[in-house]
Structure 1
């Protein structure tokens, strides 16, 4: 598939804790899908793969909008959290939001030994609040939240969209990730009833391997 030199039409939707522009790529028509990458700053492979895939397209996007990096400060700092030390995927205003410290693994096989805050209150972080506002503005039917490295497609139900994503990435479907996710984007979407949320957990592999194995299939899925 030829590569495009399309200059992506970014628009700002807010500012991060450190004043970094939060940017998205709008669609030209009614939004059916919003793709969000980089909400965890240490999962830079999500932003890398999405950025590369978008360069397959030669035309503006009619029904899909994109956030290449929802946590630019965290990605710059090389941390899961934002600049306040908050795990943004535990900061959404859900009914089960908890103020208790959350712990993450430094690598998949390690114990949960790295502590993060969930924020001073639900939706306390600007990155979270602005993303919620953007979702409200776009009113997508579905949000695709990109993560790594659990190697699965997490969604409450198996829809044609979910099955297509499983096929594109050759990954199993899971009805949930296997542990509680209070304050997550997925939990928030489920409580809102709309939009629906699909979580794509990329497998652990090098950036080059991710691109080589999945880029064209992902682009085809986005084109459907």
Structure 2
């Protein structure tokens, strides 16, 4: 039997007392338990998060183009950002796992952490409405929005621009390895710009590993130019 939901710890995270604890119980239940899990709430929460962030970007950056706002939103709503916020809140400590997923380290999976915080947002939206969901999102994402003085470039896009500006071949990516169970995989990806340079990095998804590898290679190449 799973441990009961720690509603006190949950209330500290979301900033209010849950009206319907069953929604949050579902939001914090991983599929490995064999019970109904958080996937539907994750789907809903992802859309609520995107709407709130998009609305806030539209309001805070009145001179930004559609492309600039899209770049900002991509970073703010990314799996890496969601996972970092979930880990900072220690949300994974409230997730119920099956025995195998627990022993496989599901508690430390960035993918699961990101999914869980989106599911939590979905539960909060259904339980307390859009205003409560918006208050939570702005409390946790607000500093990042304020800190975006310029629309950030995705590392893969920035690396491609660097290569094209210097007449180099576009970056090429390849998966070096994939390890871990299906619910908590680890990818290692390599990227190179012709024969000029190469870098490798790991991530909880192929996309995350490619992003990290691109950032590492770009930093190396820019460092060589100084």
Structure number having the greater helix percentage: 2
TM-score (norm 2): 0.27
Whose relative contact order is higher, 1 or 2, with alpha carbons under 8 Å and at least 6 apart? 1
